[in-house]
Amino acid sequence: MRPCILINREHLAHNVKTILKLCEGYGIAITAVTKVFGADTEIARILVDNGVSMLGDSRVENLKNLRNINAEKWLIRPPMMSELNEMVRYADVSLQTEIDSICKTADIAERQGRCHKVILMADLGDIREGFIKEEELLRAAVAAAKMKSINLYGIGVNLTCFSFVQYDTEKLEQLCRLKRRVEEETGHKLSVVSGGNSAAVDLMMKGGMPASVNNLRLGESVLFGKERAHYQFLPDMYNDVFSLECEIVELKEKPSLPWGTIGVDSYGKRPVFTDRGPRRMKAVCALGKQDFDPDTTIPYDEDIIILGASSDHLMLDITDSKKQYRLGDYVRLKLGYFSCMRAFTSKYVKKKII
């Protein structure tokens, strides 16, 4: 059988309720980010059933999956000019960074008879998306505030995604100051100050979040119970919502070191092998880098060592395991962020909510 992602409904529901309550204590609402699980409808429904009222995804195609779910839908990546029609149809809110894109969004929203909410993104150092120059952001705000089919909804920032610049009180004070400047220039109150992603949770818990910040866009912390500034597990949260089962297709005693002349891998790097002794029990599983990411995956059985993977084979050292594995048995892996994302993207992997 094909490898299968198992989604633990109870653990997910618990995480959602716990993080909502935690953030509520700091006056912060959550936009739950669905891109890790490809905005699967059933999983999104678990989020909404447990109190989430806003869902965010970076892809319009994913938001389309959520069309029958009762929540405010956010597109959290600047939209492609070529997808604005669909974007306005499936997203209630978008994070925007280009005046031209906002203008075209307004035209399309008007044609569709809709009002579209816009959050302007400021780049405060991560050099990913967002306005760097204050004048440019203010100009976009003033323009957007005049457009009939646009609701200038808020301001936001994203850090710790490309340059891994950290959130701190000073940067978020800067965002709050920009909010006040936008309000002065447009004479329009902004509803949302979206202060970041799971890397901002630690700052919030330490009481460093300025009072005006009232929203966070959270994926990893909700789904994996992990904040991203220090990669700590959050108290009273589960980190095993997503796991993956794969089948053993070969089981043999093999040495830990390869033999022959060793070349380079597909990235041009020379592989390194650890000599763990001459007689190690190896399992090959029907799973590969096409379906998961070995670096962000941990076996449930703590005595198993992941040796590595190629596109379609996963090699495990099961010598120390207390369990007697047999050919055809399933091995269960705990999925981290990127591994989970890849598993959900792979058409070779099934999904099951348990």
Ligand X SMILES: *Cc1c(COP(=O)(O)O)cnc(C)c1O
With H, G, I as helix, E, B as strand and everything else as coil, classify residue 226.
strand
Single residue of 12, 28, 33, 244 touching ligand X by CB under 6 A: 33
Between residue 262 and residue 321, which ones bind ligand X under the rule CB under 6 A?
none
Single residue of 106, 218, 287, 309 touching ligand X by CB under 6 A: 218
Q: What is the dihedral sign for C-alpha 295, 297, 303, 306? A: negative
**Choice between 118 and 309, CB closer to ligand X:** 118
User: Cα–Cα distances in Å, from 167 out to 126, 128, 138?
Assistant: 10, 14, 23
Single residue of 34, 94, 198, 214 touching ligand X by CB under 6 A: 198
Position 154 contacts ligand X (CB under 6 A): no
Q: Do β-strands 350-353 and 305-309 pair in parallel, antiparallel, or remain unpaired?
A: unpaired
Single residue of 92, 126, 202, 220 touching ligand X by CB under 6 A: 220
Number of residues located near ligand X, criterion CB under 6 A:
13
User: Measured at CB, which residue is nearest to ligand X?
Assistant: 219
With H, G, I as helix, E, B as strand and everything else as coil, classify residue 118.
strand
Shortest reach from residue 79's CB to ligand X, in Å: 13
Task: Give me the amino acid identity at 327.
Answer: L
Contact 308, 225 (CB under 8 A): no
Between residue 39 and residue 78, which ones bind ligand X under the rule CB under 6 A?
58, 76
Single residue of 171, 217, 289, 334 touching ligand X by CB under 6 A: 217
Measure the CA angle with vertex 157, ends 117 and 58; round to 5°.
60
Position 158 contacts ligand X (CB under 6 A): yes
The token pair at 295 is 């670096």
Task: Give the alpha-carbon dihedral of 209, 212, 217, 222, to 10 degrees.
Answer: 50
35 part of the active site:
yes
Measure the CA angle with vertex 164, ends 159 and 165; round to 5°.
60
The token pair at 16 is 């959602």
Between residue 175 and residue 194, which ones bind ligand X under the rule CB under 6 A?
none
Shortest reach from residue 77's CB to ligand X, in Å: 6
Single residue of 130, 219, 288, 336 touching ligand X by CB under 6 A: 219
Catalytic residue among 17, 35, 322, 334: 35
Task: Just list the catalytic residues.
Answer: 35
| Residues in touch with ligand X (CB under 6 A) | 33, 35, 58, 76, 158, 197-198, 217-221, 228
